[in-house]
């Protein structure tokens, strides 16, 4: 079974600085997706960024970028120019690609990293 | 707005009772997933349905059951409730493997007293 590990329960960063959240995963599959979801105090789960395993290029979405190291099974999230609104719980998640088979496509989540932004 | 609708948003009930949580997926999405999030915990996968059929089961208790109806909405039934069942229950939907991501509803917060 796939597992996702976030080794940093809490992180803090000064406003406007850069922070990197770590995530490692364990899988024997070659085709999969990786995600970072954000959960602010409202508890809504918001997709931040996604990465397809077959793509070598790291995904970026505005101030958010990832460092995807497939061989090392590492998927870190970098937040640049941190803003107060970035304060949230961040979850790393894994999902099998499972093309054509709908049976094993659940998201497997890490335990989360609580990010605090200091003004 | 993710397009996934969950009702009710909040629910308070007593031990031993039964409740039903409802989820309407995004238009066009055939897969529905249920997740449980206890206080300050990660999300635990409960069950997945695809086009009306159960496809994957996680750590779902026997006291819990779910179904997906022909109109693709889903219901999660929780019975013989215990204090430890208090949690945020999320529904998510996806088209399938093509896009990868799941879209989450706002959750139903269940408090068992």
Tens digits of residue pLDDT in B49-63: 988 988 888 889 999
Q: Which of B35, B25, B19 is nearest to B88 (CA)?
A: B35
Q: For strand B31-37 and strand B87-94, is the pairing parallel, antiparallel, or unpaired? A: antiparallel
pLDDT band at residue A107 under the 50/70/90 scheme: confident
CB atoms within 10 A of CB B89: 23
Over 60: is that where the pLDDT of B38 sits?
yes
The pair phi, psi for residue A8, each rounded to 5°, is -110, 100
Per-residue pLDDT tens for B80-107? 999 999 999 999 998 864 456 889 999 9
Q: Which of A100, A103, A111 sits opposite B55 (nearest CB)?
A: A103
User: Tell me, what's the pLDDT at B69?
Assistant: 96
List the helix and strand counts (H, then E) for chain A: 0, 12
User: Tell me, what's the pLDDT at A29?
Assistant: 87
Residue of A nearest to B105 (CA): A44
| pLDDT, average across residues A79-99 | 91
Over 90: is that where the pLDDT of A83 sits?
yes
Indicate yes or no: CB of A43 within 8 angstroms of CB of B88: yes
Indicate yes or no: CB of A52 within 8 angstroms of CB of B106: no
Task: From chain B, pick out residues whose CB is under 8 angstroms from the CB of A104.
Answer: 56
pLDDT band at residue B42 under the 50/70/90 scheme: confident
Indicate yes or no: CB of B104 within 8 angstroms of CB of A100: no
Q: Which of A104, A107, A111 sits opposite B102 (nearest CB)?
A: A107
Q: Which of B34, B43, B45, B95 to mutate to test the interface with A (most CBs of A within 10 A)?
A: B43
User: Tell me, what's the pLDDT at B39?
Assistant: 79
Q: For strand A88-96 and strand A32-39, is the pairing parallel, antiparallel, or unpaired? A: antiparallel
Q: What is the DSSP letter of B11?
A: E
User: Tell me, what's the pLDDT at B44?
Assistant: 92
Q: State whether residue A84 is helix, strand or coil.
A: helix
User: Tell me, what's the pLDDT at B96?
Assistant: 66
User: Tell me, what's the pLDDT at B99?
Assistant: 59
Q: Which of A52, A106, A109 to mutate to test the interface with B (most CBs of B within 10 A)?
A: A106
Indicate yes or no: CB of A50 within 8 angstroms of CB of B97: no
Residue B42 CB contacts under 8 Å (≥ 6 apart), including other chains: A91, A109, A110, A111, A112
Per-residue pLDDT tens for B2-34? 899 999 999 999 999 999 999 999 998 988 999
Task: From chain B, pick out residues whose CB is under 8 angstroms from the CB of A109.
Answer: 42-43
């Amino acid at each position: 079974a796939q597992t996702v590990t976030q080794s940093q329960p809490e992180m803090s960063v000064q406003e406007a600085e850069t922070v990197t959240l770590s995530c490692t995963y364990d899988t024997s599959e070659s085709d999969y997706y990786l995600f970072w979801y954000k959960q602010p105090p409202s508890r809504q789960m918001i997709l931040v960024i996604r990465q397809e395993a077959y793509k070598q290029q790291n995904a970026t979405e505005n101030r958010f970028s990832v460092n995807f190291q497939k061989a090392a099974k590492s998927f870190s999230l970098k937040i640049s120019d941190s803003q107060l609104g970035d304060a949230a719980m961040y979850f790393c998640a894994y999902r099998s690609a499972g093309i054509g088979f709908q049976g094993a496509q659940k998201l497997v989540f890490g335990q989360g990293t609580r990010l605090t932004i200091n003004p | 707005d993710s397009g996934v609708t969950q009702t009710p948003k909040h629910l308070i009930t007593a031990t031993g009772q039964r409740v039903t949580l409802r989820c309407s997926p995004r238009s066009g999405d055939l897969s529905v997933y249920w997740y449980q999030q206890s206080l300050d915990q990660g999300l635990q996968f409960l069950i997945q349905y695809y086009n009306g059929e159960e496809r994957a089961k996680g750590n779902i208790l026997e006291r819990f059951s779910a179904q997906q109806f022909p109109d693709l909405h889903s219901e999660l039934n929780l019975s013989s409730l215990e204090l430890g069942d208090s949690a945020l229950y999320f529904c998510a939907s996806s088209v399938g493997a093509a896009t990868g991501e799941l879209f989450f509803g706002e959750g139903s917060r269940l408090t068992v007293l």
